[in-house]
Amino acid sequence: MDMKDLHQRTGSAIQRAAKDLPEDYEITIEIEQGAGTVRLFVPPYSDDENGEVINEFSGEDIAYKIENAIAYAIEHKINAES
């Protein structure tokens, strides 16, 4: 994969997160030389529950990690509401 393709995929993943991430969920992206981490902040769904931070998204590149975080958030919200 060339860098232009990677940049386009990463930009598209960020735009998708801004559009499709469920309300009250947040994604942060931490970049350092040679590495990147995507963290998903999951809100609490009851007074007895704490929110959680998930940063175990693996993948070939940062775009893949962002897409996995979005998918996890959507599935988590569906399961929390059922």
pLDDT in tens, 54-79: 988 888 899 999 999 999 999 999 99
How far apart CA 26 and CA 77 sit, in angstroms, is: 13
- pLDDT higher than threshold 70 for residue 19: yes
pLDDT digits (tens, 9 = 90+) for 30-59: 999 988 899 999 998 766 678 899 988 888
pLDDT score recorded for residue 1: 66
Burial of 40 from C-beta contacts in 10 A (0-12 / 13-18 / 19+): buried
Residue type at 16 in one-letter notation: R
Token pair for 17: 């997160």
47-62: string of b/e by CB count within 10 Å (b at 16+)?
eeeeeeebeebeeeeb
Domains in the chain: how many in total?
1
pLDDT at 3: 86
| Domain hosting residue 8, numbered range | 3-81
